[in-house]
Structure 1
């Protein structure tokens, strides 16, 4: 035994000089490469007339502390507002940091810079490492792919959001009736409305996407058993939420994303994908004739995709990509809308008046007349949703990576008029959450909830981007707005009284791939 230990010690002593030698070589390469790399970038920036914006004051020497602080704020429900607070120190709406001298990250809320990234210089930017960040759950889908993969996904999915599909709101009513049962069961006591919205949207999304709802709203509280038996139903919603929270942390850690890969994350991914696989396999087992027959009962996203591809992995990935949009953005929009309406009773009553004039209320409610077309004519309802999306955009922070050496049009130099140099591989992070609060576009009351501002608001252009912009603009924006409009209108018909039970303002916000309230929407309704 002692001889084995002696041999191990000898091996370690012999190996140590080699390791020391390689560490020294790597260190020398780094201290040589990093200055030369930054010198090259400085020369390129000078040649193009670029200047850096101010440096992010909390970045620290390596820049890593800035990324860690962002993750901490996200976990505390303060990321979006923390970003808004930071930009108070940067009057020209841009700043930057360098991570270990190799990765430049530019933060901007300037509409012209956002326009460049998303549209006019679209080919200069890509999703970068987003695929690596999100792939454990979402695989190869429209949200994770660049280039031809993204183009193919968009071409596959675009027809599924045609106007006649958007117009189909009748399928929402049965699920909304279960929501109403939950609300009434609370007997005008405090409850979390957001929790119901997330269950509602997972039910409507799975019905639209998969052809069969998971019916998560059916529970012991109501004493109603789900009308179907779907394996993994009970774990799906919670696992989906947890997975997305981990995905967001991976995204904010940028190049260090791989440090966030715990067992809970991997297990949640498996639970979500297991349910998607169940529906995919079921659809693939249908004959073409059976698919056509089932499609007669109503539009089903999966059944239409199966007509285009029989690849189970492609189907699973695209379904989960759209599930993120179809479920979470709508639930978040509904939650923030009702949160603000509950705090502003005069807005709630004004909105109710418009809905009652158009569609009636109570026993006289004309539910069948609430359609895609008639909802679009409700101007105050549109203003309420626009204002909610302004203050609480579904994706408050986003990123792009430079595919070549390029520039942003402004924000550099002491007066912010110079272009900003963005080396290949650098990250540009933009926050429409902050852009939507800029006083030069929305006035001194830009942080207040005022739907009336939309009656005479000037043309905003790239200062209002609730659904992104450019070639990657959200395919499902009308789908989400129609569903949210329908739900708000029906709740206004059914429940005259809405009272907030939340004391904290502004509320904590959970930012993962999308945004919702961190602690829920606590209200009384009758």
Structure 2
């Protein structure tokens, strides 16, 4: 009696195998047709020492991260592969790595809908910010962008924030010693940008007596440290085999969310009661959002996302910039000459944009030390990237659904065929050459529909802070002989901090 049942079971298994083989055959024929129609060829293959599992590369990556040398390690792999696009085996999975501007343009712009952030990254970040603009895609992302964009990109909005920059800059200035003793500017930059970002977004001054009392009452402690700890936890989880947070870390994330909820709910109540409308004062980013919706969970997620992006990338860039300036008195002298033309006046939005050497110095810093130096996207469908295949790397390459494609802005910004033979050298003067048009070869703020909405705001804050420091101090000396090394969180800052001595003008007490 067992034979009929066994026979039936084998028949079912056979049919399932047959169905699966047929499905594979259909996929194979479709992919072969796509490759043939587009003239696709395989990209170069990275010479793995472990050609079966790629554990050599995984271990090398881990060790590089541990010793804060991942960025130069990634850049060196392009030289090892002998190509700007290659296929590499890491922990049992093949990935595509590219620093070709045309490929990055395709992923971020012309084939935007064919690529999304990898599920692993979004899973980790969603535990903090929900379906916010930086982790969502499709209609959810479109709604977020359409709602947020008008409030962050207007020149009038940025110009109106200059007085807040000065207020928070003044507080930071008091923490910088004038006796030429050593100070680490990096934590000061992070505190400065956090305070400025929170007031811009919520209208709340964290250092006011009212907000300090509310933080104490709600047992939130130091809000800046609260968010710092949350970001460190998420950055750590993002590189582990699993992304779920343990109970104690979930509780920490919850406390951050509760603090933001408090601000959001208060803004919603004030809006509905009419307390904000018609008062003649400029509305905060949060107050603008509550005019669009009363979904406090959605607003909370967007606030957290914009806060982290606006605060971290700006502070990281300022830290790297002054780390470099402290070792380059020649550049500081040229900056001082341009700043002297202000005759002591505080620069406005328009005037900052006209200060060419200041802008070129920031451009050069973002080229060599971008705050977001690498990224990866996952294909949502079978597609093709324009270059990278064949022995010359000029043929299109086929990208299957689910394939991860990594691109290193850090490595691309060091390409000598784009930026010249001295591409590894920090030289702001290169941007004076009008023939230098890197296009998609220069992406400090991403590109395409996902280009950073706060780009102009960040550049203005960086320029303003730099100019004001140069107005207060005649020179800066490095107190750290080590080279720049990466420190990863949600952005890339300086591992050893920015330890310097700030030398004030003789007539400044």
- For the aligned pair, the TM-score class normalised by the smaller chain equals 0.7 to 0.9
Map Cα deviations across residues 394-413 of structure 1 (whole Å, 9 max, x no partner).
21111111111011111122
Answer yes or no: is 1:419 the counterpart of 2:396: yes
Change (3 A) 1:287 1:403: closer
1:165: Cα distance to partner?
Answer: 0.6
Please give the alpha-carbon distance, in whole angstroms, between the structure 2 residues aligned to 1:343 and 1:232: 42
Map Cα deviations across residues 245-278 of structure 1 (whole Å, 9 max, x no partner).
443455456xx443x6345543432232222122
Q: 1:315 aligns with which of 290, 295, 299?
A: 299
1:69: Cα distance to partner?
Answer: 4.3
> Would you say the 8 A contact 1:117–1:125 is kept in 2?
yes
Answer yes or no: is 1:495 the counterpart of 2:486: no
1:452 counterpart residue number: 429
Instruction: Tell me the SS of whatever aligns to 2:470.
Output: helix
1:5 counterpart residue number: none
Q: 1:55 aligns with which of 41, 45, 50?
A: 45
1:46: Cα distance to partner?
Answer: 5.1
2:383 counterpart residue number: 406
Instruction: Tell me the SS of whatever aligns to 1:183.
Output: coil
2:332 counterpart residue number: 348
Answer yes or no: is 1:200 the counterpart of 2:208: no
Q: 2:267 aligns with which of 272, 279, 283?
A: 283
Please give the alpha-carbon distance, in whole angstroms, between the structure 2 residues aligned to 1:380 and 1:121: 36
> Would you say the 8 A contact 1:232–1:274 is kept in 2?
no
Instruction: Tell me the SS of whatever aligns to 1:430.
Output: strand
Answer yes or no: is 1:383 the counterpart of 2:366: no
1:287: Cα distance to partner?
Answer: 4.0
Map Cα deviations across residues 281-339 of structure 1 (whole Å, 9 max, x no partner).
22122144212266x44441111101111111011000001011110111011111111
Change (3 A) 1:263 1:85: farther
Please give the alpha-carbon distance, in whole angstroms, between the structure 2 residues aligned to 1:265 and 1:439: 44
1:86 counterpart residue number: 77
Please give the alpha-carbon distance, in whole angstroms, between the structure 1 residues aligned to 2:210 and 2:180: 24
> Would you say the 8 A contact 1:205–1:213 is kept in 2?
no
1:210: Cα distance to partner?
Answer: 1.3
Q: 1:109 aligns with which of 73, 84, 99?
A: 99
- Written as runs of structure 1 = structure 2, the 5 A alignment for 1:111-126 is 111-126=101-116
Please give the alpha-carbon distance, in whole angstroms, between the structure 1 residues aligned to 2:230 and 2:59: 19
Please give the alpha-carbon distance, in whole angstroms, between the structure 1 residues aligned to 2:487 and 2:416: 25
Answer yes or no: is 1:175 the counterpart of 2:182: no
- Written as runs of structure 1 = structure 2, the 5 A alignment for 1:137-156 is 137-156=128-147
Please give the alpha-carbon distance, in whole angstroms, between the structure 2 residues aligned to 1:138 and 1:355: 40
Instruction: Tell me the SS of whatever aligns to 2:371.
Output: coil
Please give the alpha-carbon distance, in whole angstroms, between the structure 2 residues aligned to 1:453 and 1:67: 37
Answer yes or no: is 1:164 the counterpart of 2:164: no
Moved beyond 4 Å, runs of 4+: 36-46, 98-101, 224-228, 249-253
Answer yes or no: is 1:479 the counterpart of 2:457: yes
Please give the alpha-carbon distance, in whole angstroms, between the structure 1 residues aligned to 2:400 and 2:237: 23
Instruction: Tell me the SS of whatever aligns to 1:290.
Output: coil
Please give the alpha-carbon distance, in whole angstroms, between the structure 2 residues aligned to 1:299 and 1:388: 33
Q: 1:464 aligns with which of 416, 432, 442?
A: 442
TM-score calculated relative to the size of structure 1: 0.84
Q: How many residues align?
A: 476
1:73: Cα distance to partner?
Answer: 2.9
> Would you say the 8 A contact 1:235–1:271 is kept in 2?
no
Instruction: Tell me the SS of whatever aligns to 2:71.
Output: helix
Using the TM superposition, name which of 462-471 and 232-241 deviates more: 232-241
2:227 counterpart residue number: 240
1:366 counterpart residue number: 345
Map Cα deviations across residues 449-472 of structure 1 (whole Å, 9 max, x no partner).
111111115111111111111111
Change (3 A) 1:201 1:145: same
Please give the alpha-carbon distance, in whole angstroms, between the structure 1 residues aligned to 2:49 and 2:109: 29
> Would you say the 8 A contact 2:205–2:211 is kept in 1?
no
TM-score calculated relative to the size of structure 2: 0.86
Please give the alpha-carbon distance, in whole angstroms, between the structure 2 residues aligned to 1:83 and 1:501: 29
> Would you say the 8 A contact 2:220–2:255 is kept in 1?
no
Structure 2: state its 5+ residue gaps.
Answer: 1-12, 504-509
2:371 counterpart residue number: 394
Instruction: Tell me the SS of whatever aligns to 2:481.
Output: coil
1:174: Cα distance to partner?
Answer: 1.3
Using the TM superposition, name which of 417-426 and 274-283 deviates more: 274-283
Change (3 A) 1:398 1:478: same
Structure 1: state its 5+ residue gaps.
Answer: 1-24, 219-223
1:22 counterpart residue number: none
Q: 2:117 aligns with which of 94, 110, 127?
A: 127
1:226: Cα distance to partner?
Answer: 7.7
Answer yes or no: is 1:329 the counterpart of 2:313: yes
1:237: Cα distance to partner?
Answer: 2.7
Please give the alpha-carbon distance, in whole angstroms, between the structure 2 residues aligned to 1:119 and 1:462: 10
1:350: Cα distance to partner?
Answer: 0.9
Please give the alpha-carbon distance, in whole angstroms, between the structure 2 residues aligned to 1:156 and 1:234: 32
Please give the alpha-carbon distance, in whole angstroms, between the structure 2 residues aligned to 1:44 and 1:524: 63
> Would you say the 8 A contact 1:436–1:463 is kept in 2?
yes
2:285 counterpart residue number: 301
